[in-house]
Chain A
Amino acid sequence: MERVSFDLASTPLREVNQFLYQKLQAEDERHVEVHNPDGAHNIAVGLDQPVTVEIHGHAGYYAAGMNKKAHVIVHGSAGTGVAENMMSGVVHVKGFASNGAGATAHGGLLVIDGDAGLRCGISLKGADIVVGGSVGSFSGFMAQAGRMVICGNAGDALGDSLYEAVIYIRGEVKSLGADAQFEPMTDEDRATVADLLRQAGLQHDPASFKRIASARSLYHWNADANQEY
């Protein structure tokens, strides 16, 4: 089966995105290769069909932004806001991801094999994020729902002002953010981590992860909370 292939060195991004967004009917249109991305921004944004897109190289900002149903693989690193506001589907970054990876994502799975920058999973709204490496400071900031599995370490203020999202981390946490707390791992937590690691294709012992969730002390205005807000 021949795959549809685009070369961003010679094809405008507009054309590629328009192709991806049209109603793809033929089976061979459902697997698209993008070559020479050269850090272009907004590759494969707004997809809403079960298509597989493989980006061979580094992607710029917002790769696979607002994805629905599609499976996007970046064979390289991704810039700021990869899979931001994703609704469903899978986005897999084989390299590293910059700031705001998976920001505000509502659903689907984001896998980053390498490290992620600052604010990974910020304002997360229900998606799952698995990071093979470490995450930068302020990751999980104000995360509302969904799960983050971090196999490496985290920078400062992990899970600051968390709502109902849950963070699992294997390595060291430089510091927790306001209202975030370590909690005991239950069997259910270990099963969740095992399942997400399996989906991400990563081999770690789920028992080696720690759970971080909201202490919920900032859910209501409280004079004694001082400047913790």
Chain B
Amino acid sequence: MDMKPVQFKRRSTEESAGFDRSVIDYIQNAAAHGLYEIRGLGAKRRVPHFDDLLFLAGSLSRYPLEGYREKCSTKTLLGTRFAKKPVELEIPITIAGMSFGALSANVKEALGRAATEMGTSTTTGDGGMTQEERGSSKTLVYQCLPSRYGFNPDDLRKADAIEVVIGQGAKPGGGGMLLGQKVNPRVAKMRTLPQGVDQRSACRHPDWTGPDDLAIKILELREMTDWEKPVYVKVGATRTFHDVKLAVHSGADVVVVDGMQGGTAATQTCFIEHVGIPTLAAVRQAVEALEDLNMKGTVQLIVSGGIRTGADVAKALAMGADAVAIGQGVLFALGCNSETYVRNGQHHSALDAYDAIGTAPGYCHHCHTGKCPVGVTTQDAELEQRLEPAVGAKRVRNYLKTLNMELTTIARACGKQNVHHLEREDLVALTLEAAAMAGVPLAGTNWVPGR
């Protein structure tokens, strides 16, 4: 009898599952402003991911290789289908497309330097090619996007590969976005826009519709570049099985699949969190599409969207990817969400700058404001000084080096002399969801849900 009021009293203080504080905040924010939230980075919700997979390494049934002593190649060749000059990389870890505009020129230079030192590639973005990036990056992939901002035949010919961007994992089906704070005079000029406009990019290409048109567009790009350069086609992960098949049909040398955890410089939160499928599910579908067409090994697959560690890279490769692309990971390596920035060899606190935009290290996703406390995603003349190219380059190089060492550690343990020999058979899943999405058995069983 007296339990009920006590229970009621206790329960009345509990937070609702459906309307928790974050949901109430969302509703009240919508009510106050009448506009959706826009933010940077990728999905924050928990989704089945590479964390839910484990490797079965060598033992008695398989022999491992001696760590550090026995050879384990990481060389990666991309664009062997049609291009006269395929891209040759030392490591299967590339830097994803991020625009000058979203990132400062210093950052683009830092990425180029780091990639060149590590023998990998960088990718331009929705804002054209900067001299800083072309000058510092030995292997540069030039994106052809719906907006065509800054797109021109001279830069096209300067590129080492071309990436036709259909969509992005953070917002498949959506165009780019760059808020006015970041459209400074240089960015505005490169994009032929008035300074300070809230720039919205188109979501469809202006001069083709559908895969049959894309095939002709790709031929145009090949004609213009003498059939030398590999043509990548990048899709945001949704109906990945069909999209990859159509990309192959369109004549892609390389297909890039970007899962929903992929980042963005600015997009509606509802888009980031609710559109697209996890990278884990996308890789399997992409590989199945290539296998179905008997194109595995002929058309290469690059996977991106939430790749963080060498283990993630190893798992993506084992599932059938030829390489990965990393965006957010390299931003964090540069100092994104760090408490300090380095200037003239000294660490300085960035806490005031986080406070000024109402956030804190570890939580910041305010790339869209251009007020990056550590000078990474900004066009502000003062803030961008917080990231010195030499410091950034060293950090990104170290990060890529670490990932590559982790990758070869796992590959050797699995008995592979080449990281590209990692295979699906080396993997098991920890959860039912991951087993079903990745198409590998639940650990300790032979069970692949759905098979």
Contacts and interface: CB of A to CB of B under 8 A. Distances in A.
A144 B153 contact: no
Q: Is the interface of B mostly helix, strand, loop or mixed?
A: loop
Contacts of A68: 153
A61 B213 contact: yes
B34 A223 contact: yes
A46 B153 contact: yes
Contacts of B191: 144
Contacts of B200: 161, 229
Nearest to B197: A219
Contacts of B296: none
B266 to A, nearest CB: 11
Given A144-B193, A220-B197, A221-B198, A62 B153 contact: no
Interface in B230-262: none
Given A48-B153, A85-B151, A104-B148, A66 B224 contact: yes
Interface in B189-221: 191-194, 197-198, 200, 202, 206-208, 213, 216-217, 219-220
Contact of A123 (B34, B35, B202, B208): B202
Contact of B198 (A61, A142, A220): A220
Nearest to A226: B34
A163 interface: yes
A123 B223 contact: no
Contacts of A80: 207-208, 213
Contact of B194 (A85, A99, A106, A163): A163
Q: How large is the interface on B (under 10, 10 to 19, 20 to 34, 35 or more residues)?
A: 20 to 34
Contacts of B213: 61, 80
Nearest to A82: B207
Interface in A68-105: 68, 80-81, 84-85, 87, 99-100, 103-104
A15 B23 CA distance: 62
A99 B219 CA distance: 18
A13 B194 CA distance: 40
A141 B175 CA distance: 14
Contacts of A46: 153, 223-225
Contact of B220 (A65, A125, A126, A229): A65
A165 to B, nearest CB: 10
Task: Select the residue from A46, A103, A145 with max chain B CB neighbours within 10 A.
Answer: A46
Q: How large is the interface on A (under 10, 10 to 19, 20 to 34, 35 or more residues)?
A: 35 or more
A171 B359 CA distance: 54
A60 B220 contact: no
A176 interface: no
A71 B104 CA distance: 38
B33 interface: yes
A41 B220 contact: yes
Given A80-B208, A80-B213, A81-B207, A142 B202 contact: yes
Given A45-B224, A85-B151, A145-B192, A223 B206 contact: no
B338 interface: no
Contacts of B208: 61, 80-81, 100
A42 interface: yes
A96 B223 CA distance: 24
A100 B204 CA distance: 12
Contacts of B217: 61-62, 81
A13 B198 CA distance: 42
B219 A87 contact: no
Given A126-B192, A219-B197, A221-B198, A13 B207 contact: no
B192 A106 contact: yes
A147 interface: no
A60 B206 CA distance: 16
Given A84-B207, A103-B206, A119-B206, A18 B226 contact: yes
B220 A42 contact: yes
Nearest to A142: B202
B180 interface: yes
Contacts of B198: 219-221
Contact of A41 (B148, B153, B219): B219
Interface in A38-53: 41-42, 45-46, 48
Nearest to B191: A144
A103 B144 CA distance: 14
A229 B227 CA distance: 39
B58 to A, nearest CB: 50
A14 interface: yes
Nearest to A223: B34
A18 B147 CA distance: 28
B28 interface: no
A87 B191 CA distance: 14
Contacts of A81: 207-208, 217
Contacts of A65: 220, 224
12 contacts: A42-B223, A46-B153, A48-B153, A61-B217, A81-B207, A100-B206, A104-B148, A144-B193, A219-B180, A219-B198, A221-B198, A229-B200
Given A61-B213, A66-B153, 19 more contacts: A42-B219, A48-B154, A60-B216, A61-B220, A66-B156, A68-B153, A80-B208, A80-B213, A81-B217, A85-B148, A100-B206, A103-B148, A123-B202, A123-B206, A144-B193, A145-B192, A163-B194, A219-B197, A223-B35
Q: Which 10 A-B pairs have the closest CB atoms?
A: A223-B34, A46-B224, A81-B207, A103-B206, A104-B148, A100-B207, A66-B153, A122-B206, A103-B207, A125-B192
Interface of A: 13-14, 17-18, 21, 41-42, 45-46, 48, 60-62, 65-66, 68, 80-81, 84-85, 87, 99-100, 103-104, 106, 119, 122-123, 125-126, 141-142, 144-145, 161, 163-164, 219-221, 223-224, 229
Interface of B: 33-35, 38, 147-148, 151-154, 156, 179-180, 191-194, 197-198, 200, 202, 206-208, 213, 216-217, 219-220, 223-227
